[in-house]
Structure 1
């Protein structure tokens, strides 16, 4: 997390607001786990056309392992887009990842 927009006051305020509204890791919650989020992820990466300062529903609270997995599978410039971002299943047995 370096460089624009992450060094701006606007991002720090947006991040703080998202974590206050959704303090738990969203993918972990889907798995029935309670894990505090430390990262705020752009659901659509800036590099892939997403807004730098989206509304809160354009962001996802995540723990660091889930954030790293999603970034590597979906947002990374070399990501194929054909693999699931996160391994595992939600509490209903549905695969996690893909459509956020």
Structure 2
């Protein structure tokens, strides 16, 4: 976490509120796994037009591995857009859809 808005009190409060409301990784829950979230991700990256301080529904609680995978597949400046943001299958065997 570096730079604006991540170094603001507003972001720290929003992040804490999201982790309090959803303390588990939302992507892992889709796979039937219970993993504590350590990151809060903008579903639509700021660099791609998303708001810096969205409502909680515009954020996703994620573990480090899921956050890194989603960022590399969707948010990274060199992302092709052809990769699924989140790999794996949900508890019913369906591919997990991305949030891009």
Runs of 4+ in 1 over 6 A off after TM superposition: none
Question: Deviation of residue 98 (structure 1)?
Answer: 1.9
Please report the TM-score for the alignment, with normalisation by the length of structure 1: 0.96
Which blocks of at least 5 consecutive residues in structure 2 are unaligned? none
User: What does residue 31 of structure 1 align with?
Assistant: 31
Aligned length: 100
CA distance in 1, matches of 2:44, 2:99: 11
SS at match of 1:68: helix
Question: Deviation of residue 5 (structure 1)?
Answer: 0.1
CA distance in 1, matches of 2:6, 2:56: 15
User: More displaced, 54-63 or 78-87?
Assistant: 78-87
User: What does residue 17 of structure 1 align with?
Assistant: 17
User: What does residue 61 of structure 2 align with?
Assistant: 61
**Cα deviation 1:23-46 (Å, max 9, x = unaligned):** 000010000000000000000000
CA distance in 2, matches of 1:22, 1:44: 18
SS at match of 1:40: strand
**Cα deviation 1:45-83 (Å, max 9, x = unaligned):** 000000000000000000000000000000000001111
CA distance in 2, matches of 1:10, 1:82: 33
Q: Is the 2:43–2:58 contact (alpha carbons within 8 Å) kept by the matching residues of 1? A: yes
SS at match of 1:84: coil
User: What does residue 88 of structure 1 align with?
Assistant: 88
